[in-house]
Amino acid sequence: MNFFRGVISGQAAGPQPSGAETIQKLCDRVASSTLLEDRRDAVRALKSLSKKYRMEVGTQAMDHLINILQTDRSDSEILGYALDTLYNVICNDEEEEQDENAQKQADDLGLQFTDTFVQDPEHVTLLLTLLEEFDFHVRWPGVKLLTALLKNQGPQIQGIILVSPMGVSRLMDLLADSREVIRNDGLLLLQQLTKGNAAIQKIVAFENAFERLLDIITEEGSSDGGIVVEDCLLLLLNLLKNNSSNQNFFKEGSYIQRMKPWFEVGDDNSGWSAQKVTNLHLMLQLVRVMVSPVNSPGATASCQKSMFQCGLLQQLCTILMATGVPADILTETINTVSEVIRGSQVNQDYFASVNAPSNPPRPAIVVLLMSMVNERQPFVLRCAVLYCFQCFLYKNQKGQGEIVATLLPSTIDANSISAGQLLCGGLFSADSLSNWCAAVALAHALQDNLTQKEQLLRVQLATSLGKPPVSLLQQCTNILSQGSKVQTRVGLLMLLCTWISNCPIAVTHFLHNQENVPFLTAQISENLGEDERLVQGLCALLLGICIYYNDNSLENYTKEKLKQLIEKRIGKENFVEKLCFITKHELYSRAAQKPQPVFPSPEQMLFDHEFTKLVKELEGVITKAVHKSSEEEKKEEEVKKTLEQHDNIVTQYKELIREQDAQLQELKEQVTSMTSQNEQLQATITQQQSQIQQHKDQYNILKLKLAKENQGQSNSQGDGSQVNGLQTEELTQLREEVEELRKQHSLLQTQLGDKDALISSLVSIFFFLLFLSLCVLALLFWGLIPERCFKAVLMRLLV
């Protein structure tokens, strides 16, 4: 005992033993002592030395400490010391004064001891069992130790816990612990446990994790809460991100509705604490996880609907228009609103109706666009506004029409600022980033909308006093030819490519300007620097669109003449090489990954996500179109005409089939009706046959009675005559009734036979028409009858 007291107090007589020697003696004492008190003192001493002599304690004492956990379960104090000691040697807590190399060595040491501990999976199972102990001195160090193990060897520990009976359930019980320090460390443990493991995430979710976590967030004050709220939100993000099953469970459990109170901010938004900013940022991320564009469209649409119905979208729009909100929260709110409205017509319509609290009130879209084209605004905020505008127009033809309408002469209001005016101002400003953002925003107003592409051709711009107005299309090409910054030219070229693709009228307008084609060919054919190669590729794409969607209405710029021009001035191989450079660009592949425009710097803002889809769609067909000869073009035209004729024939035949279907349906209804009548007649016949049988029976009974009375002696002849007279009248009446019934029966049998014959005839007609239709279709398919004969047959069938 004196030895241990000396170690702990630091007092010792004679020469001081080294740390390794002391630890060895303590380990021997732990292994050999029979008294629990001695072992406890030895383990306490090891704990006090474990931070300073981490390597020695971990190497020499780990097996003894694990043995203590297995054998001394009855003493919570020694268990606590053993768990604390193991935690000290395994944990890699960063220390500020350590340099990078020392920290790396410490991390390697923790990983080494973790590997030693988990060599036997039963050690992890033992630790899970100890967590069931309610004693604070056992449970708390056990939670910390398991968290450290998960940090060092997450996947391996997750696998052991996953196969352990009730392993996850035991850890979920930590959230219900009344001692806050255990509950809070339990949150950190579950964060590590759920990282990157979908199976554990599902188990935790179905252990009522959502309910418990949301309750804790509410208890701790929601966005005004402390670090515990942050830990709960991080755990919720782990459970929901990229886990469609948990997202569906969260939505079906009506937990989206419980998120609305998080975003109720007051009028006074000054002095937000750093913790509140962090909490609200995570809350917004949680909303975005539920409506992320990478989720399945059905799940996203369902969550968007719930967010509108419970008022969550309305609450987010309130934050959007509030004053005093920190810039990073405002940016993340804009991104969140963007994804809540993306592709949802109801939500997009609501967003279009939101007004900013200004005098006079202005639409929220206009206020946001003012920020986007303002070069003094933060770059991330301008990107967020662009994303919001893109999401507002995504699959929203109504919204696209409203934006384009603000540019048309008949709808321009000189007294107010419109979205169209802001986009035009940004398109032609001196700031290249504003040019790019406005061009991309305007391109989204035209995306997959032929009507608005044609409407935008009507837009006229007043360039200067005394000069006639020019079209927006022409002004874009004028700026392009002036040799502005690369970012500006890339934005304008993306706008022009989106505008004229799949719109022959716009192609004609573009080609009508005699300067456009020479400018494009000159740009493509020059040998320019690396920065200009992207512009050359986009010029090649624009010229390729002019070929592919050309309706040959301009004699000087038909498809064939444009291809000859490329061959003479550029060369087909050179043209295709320049075109292919677009998809090889590093920023192209980055933009193609997700819809949100995220760029590290304004200079790298070159490609739009939707434009990358257009390039992918057109690159191959343009390459084929350029390489095709005039003979191949003629053959294709002939094939197209033949196909159109064939389509017309098929359409006529479809009409015939529809008519025959209607006739067959009518015949089926007649058959059904007659079958019903037949059944009724059968029932009537059966009933009448029953009545006839009854009358026959009555007749036979009366006949027998009459025969018996004729054989007997009658006392009174007069009376007998009277009786016989009565019986004769009854007999006569019965015979008449029987005869009448026989006639009715015969008549019904005749009617039934007629109906059967009619039904057989209708069924024969039905199968004949069906057979005839199949025969004609087969002959047409195999080309055994010419079109003229088919039309004659068609007319005969219609008659």
Q: Report the candidate in 380, 387, 298, 294 with the shortest Cα–Cα distance to residue 594.
A: 294
**Is the distance from CB of 530 to CB of 517 less than 8 angstroms?**
no
Q: Quick one: pLDDT at residue 488? A: 94
566-583 exposure pattern, b = at least 16 Cβ within 10 A, e = fewer: beebbeeeebbebbebbe
pLDDT exceeds cutoff 80 at 357? yes
Q: Residues with Cβ < 8 Å from 194, sequence gap 6 or more?
A: 200, 201, 204, 235, 238, 239
pLDDT digits (tens, 9 = 90+) for 113-153: 999 999 999 999 999 999 998 999 999 999 999 999 999 99
For residue 363, the surrounding DSSP H or E stretch is strand 362-363
Q: Which two tokens stand for residue 146?
A: 């398991």
Q: Quick one: pLDDT at residue 767? A: 73
User: What is the percent of the chain with per-residue pLDDT over 70, rounded to a whole number?
Assistant: 86
Q: Quick one: pLDDT at residue 11? A: 45
706-730 exposure pattern, b = at least 16 Cβ within 10 A, e = fewer: eeeeeeeeeeeeeeeeeeeeeeeee
Mean per-residue pLDDT of the chain:
86
Strands of 626-760, DSSP E: none
Q: Report the candidate in 610, 609, 605 with the shortest Cα–Cα distance to residue 501.
A: 610
pTM: 0.76
**Is the distance from CB of 591 to CB of 552 less than 8 angstroms?**
no
Please give the average per-residue pLDDT across 11-35, as a whole number.
Answer: 77
pLDDT interval class at 256 (50, 70, 90)? very high
Phi, psi torsion values for 242, nearest 5 degrees: 60, 30
Please give the average per-residue pLDDT across 538-549, as a whole number.
Answer: 95
**Is the distance from CB of 191 to CB of 231 less than 8 angstroms?**
yes
pLDDT digits (tens, 9 = 90+) for 152-169: 999 999 999 999 888 899
Q: Quick one: pLDDT at residue 661? A: 81
Rounded Cα–Cα distance for residues 529 and 88 (Å): 59
pLDDT exceeds cutoff 70 at 784? no
Report angle CA 50, 53, 57 to the nearest 5 degrees.
60
Q: Report the candidate in 214, 206, 262, 261 with the shortest Cα–Cα distance to residue 235.
A: 214
Find the helix packing angle between 2-9 and 19-32, rounded to 10°.
Answer: 140
Q: Quick one: pLDDT at residue 12? A: 44
pLDDT digits (tens, 9 = 90+) for 555-593: 899 988 999 999 999 999 999 999 999 999 989 999 999
Please give the average per-residue pLDDT across 477-489, as a whole number.
Answer: 89
For residue 176, the surrounding DSSP H or E stretch is none
Q: Which two tokens stand for residue 405?
A: 């309408």
Q: Which residues pair with 470 in a beta bridge?
A: 461
Please give the average per-residue pLDDT across 665-694, as a whole number.
Answer: 84
Kindly report which listed range (275-279, 383-387, 729-733) carries the lowest average pLDDT score: 729-733
Q: Which of 239-253, 520-534, 751-765 has the highest mean pLDDT?
A: 239-253
pLDDT digits (tens, 9 = 90+) for 684-698: 888 888 888 888 888
pLDDT digits (tens, 9 = 90+) for 500-524: 999 999 999 999 999 999 999 999 9
Cβ atoms within 10 Å, residue 507: 23
Rounded Cα–Cα distance for residues 123 and 544 (Å): 67
Rounded Cα–Cα distance for residues 599 and 198 (Å): 30
Q: Quick one: pLDDT at residue 100? A: 62
Rounded Cα–Cα distance for residues 294 and 38 (Å): 61
pLDDT interval class at 265 (50, 70, 90)? confident
**Is the distance from CB of 659 to CB of 798 less than 8 angstroms?**
yes
pLDDT exceeds cutoff 70 at 49? yes
The torsion of the CA quartet 103, 109, 110, 113, rounded to 10 degrees, works out to 180
pLDDT exceeds cutoff 50 at 9? no
Rounded Cα–Cα distance for residues 546 and 557 (Å): 9
SS3 471: strand
Q: Quick one: pLDDT at residue 161? A: 93
Q: Give the DSSP per-residue string, 233-245.
A: HHHHHHHHTT-HH
pLDDT digits (tens, 9 = 90+) for 294-351: 999 999 999 999 999 999 999 999 999 888 889 999 999 999 999 999 999 999 999 9
Top-confidence residue, 727 or 747? 747
Top-confidence residue, 88 or 413? 88
Top-confidence residue, 750 or 364? 364
48: buried, middle or exposed (CB in 10 Å: 19+, 13-18, 0-12)?
A: middle
Rounded Cα–Cα distance for residues 563 and 575 (Å): 11
The CATH superfamily holding the domain 419-628 is Leucine-rich Repeat Variant (1.25.10.10)
Please give the average per-residue pLDDT across 404-427, as a whole number.
Answer: 83
Kindly report which listed range (62-76, 374-388, 623-637) carries the lowest average pLDDT score: 623-637
Q: Quick one: pLDDT at residue 414? A: 59
Q: Which two tokens stand for residue 453?
A: 């592409």
pLDDT interval class at 98 (50, 70, 90)? low
Q: Quick one: pLDDT at residue 668? A: 83
**Is the distance from CB of 423 to CB of 370 less than 8 angstroms?**
no
Q: Quick one: pLDDT at residue 527? A: 79
Q: Residues with Cβ < 8 Å from 681, sequence gap 6 or more?
A: 748, 751, 752, 755
| Structural domain boundaries in the chain | 419-628
Rounded Cα–Cα distance for residues 579 and 622 (Å): 9
Q: Report the candidate in 426, 430, 506 with the shortest Cα–Cα distance to residue 474.
A: 506
pLDDT exceeds cutoff 90 at 779? no
Q: Quick one: pLDDT at residue 103? A: 62
649: buried, middle or exposed (CB in 10 Å: 19+, 13-18, 0-12)?
A: middle
